[in-house]
Structure 1
Amino acid sequence: MPGRWRAYYQRWHAATLSEMDPRLVGLMPELERFVPPAKVVDKMTYSALGAPELMPLVTRSGCVIVSGAETDVCVLSSLMGLIDLGLRTIVVADAVCSSSDQGHEYLLTLFSERYALQVEVAEADDVIEAWRR
């Protein structure tokens, strides 16, 4: 990666795909059965939109359901990009987490209140139920 990303990846080298146990970043068996037709896209930046192959999938769908680790870093970065694109965006509250409980809780509140016209916050069971309908 260019610029300051190089120092970042040197510092956090143990968290790179080349050093991690692939089972730690793979999909759970319950989700693996959906690939294909679903696609798995690896990202190298905070925002998932930094993965060029993701952009056509996201813009074609018109709706993005967001889950992930580090609510106050990667999820936030991806979410702001999705807001900029004007896409319907749903954050699954019980499918995001962070190493900072305070940051996590603050951002879920921020998404629900400040960005309420651009972001929906829902629980996984509610998303799955709506999908089934």
Structure 2
Amino acid sequence: MRDNKLAVAEIRDAVHLCIDMQNIFAPGGLWATPWMERVLPTIVAIVARYQARTIFSRFITPHDPKDRPGQWQSYFRRWSQATRRHIAPSGLELVPALARFVPPAHVIDKPAYSAFSNASLASLLIEKRIGTVVVTGAETDVCVLSTVLSAVDLGFRVVIVQDALCSSSDVGHDALMTMYRTRFHGQVDLVTAEELAEFWRE
């Protein structure tokens, strides 16, 4: 891993964007992500430090597959148990360890993988003159990936806290870490939670 110290030393005008740490992805959930328990304490520590600067995203499934366009309909026909017609409302809530930080942390709901599929997120960040998004959450190779690429396209600097991500796939996670290091230098930085605490000071 390259030396990130010069990059992280300059973190300012940032928000912590925590992706989809919901009960549906927790142990026992329909889409359980095995790593979530392992990274949750790290994410809790980050949120506790930057409570007012944290935005949680929640992936909100449709009531019925036909409520979404195109290929999302076949996706949710396959995962009909995840639609709001079938899943308990609690399944889409934040895990309790993080929900307790709201407020002052904020929540935005999204219909697709990227947190920016809710257009109000970009508007909010631009209005607040945010230049950097610090990303944690689930899953590394799906919703986190989509959010990171959207943020890059919108011109935000992205700082990924690599020990605060979780995935169902070791192969997918490792491939994404390699891609960020080799293909997105200058737009995406990888840091540890310890480095983040040292170099992002409010």
| Category of TM-score, reference length = shorter chain | 0.7 to 0.9
- Alignment counterpart, residue 179 of structure 2, candidates 100, 105, 110: 110
Is the CA contact 1:58–1:64 (under 8 Å) kept in the aligned structure 2?
no
**CA offset at residue 125 of structure 1?**
2.4
Instruction: Please say if 1:89 is aligned against 2:158.
Output: yes
Comparing 77-86 with 55-64, greater Cα deviation is found at 55-64
- For structure 2, the 5+ residue unaligned runs are 1-67
Q: Counterpart amino acid of 2:149?
A: M
CA distance in 1, matches of 2:147, 2:193: 19
Bigger share in helix? 1
SS in 2 for 1:71: coil
CA distance in 1, matches of 2:161, 2:84: 25
Measured against aligned partners, the alpha-carbon deviations of 1:4-28 in whole angstroms (never above 9, x if no partner) come to 2122122223334561462674144
User: What's the RMSD between the two structures over aligned residues?
Assistant: 2.2
Considering only CA atoms, is the larger Rg found in Structure 1 or Structure 2? 2
Aligned length: 132
CA distance in 2, matches of 1:45, 1:58: 19
Equivalent runs, 1:59-70 vs 2, <5 Å? 59=126, 60=128, 61-70=130-139
CA distance in 1, matches of 2:190, 2:71: 32
Name the TM-score, length of structure 1 as normaliser: 0.83
CA distance in 2, matches of 1:46, 1:105: 19
Equivalent runs, 1:33-112 vs 2, <5 Å? 33-59=100-126, 60=128, 61-112=130-181
Comparing 9-18 with 109-118, greater Cα deviation is found at 9-18
- For structure 1, the 5+ residue unaligned runs are none
Q: Counterpart amino acid of 2:160?
A: V
1:2 is aligned to: 69
CA distance in 1, matches of 2:79, 2:72: 10
SS in 2 for 1:42: strand
Identity of aligned residues (%): 45
CA distance in 2, matches of 1:123, 1:20: 35
The 3 A distance-change label for structure 1 pair 26 and 16 is farther
CA distance in 2, matches of 1:78, 1:17: 23
Name the TM-score, length of structure 2 as normaliser: 0.57
CA distance in 1, matches of 2:163, 2:92: 19
1:130 is aligned to: 199
Higher relative contact order (CA 8 A, sep 6+): 2
Q: Counterpart amino acid of 2:104?
A: P
Measured against aligned partners, the alpha-carbon deviations of 1:6-59 in whole angstroms (never above 9, x if no partner) come to 221222233345614626741443x44542232111222111110122122233
Measured against aligned partners, the alpha-carbon deviations of 1:49-106 in whole angstroms (never above 9, x if no partner) come to 1012212223332211112222122111111111111111111111212212111101
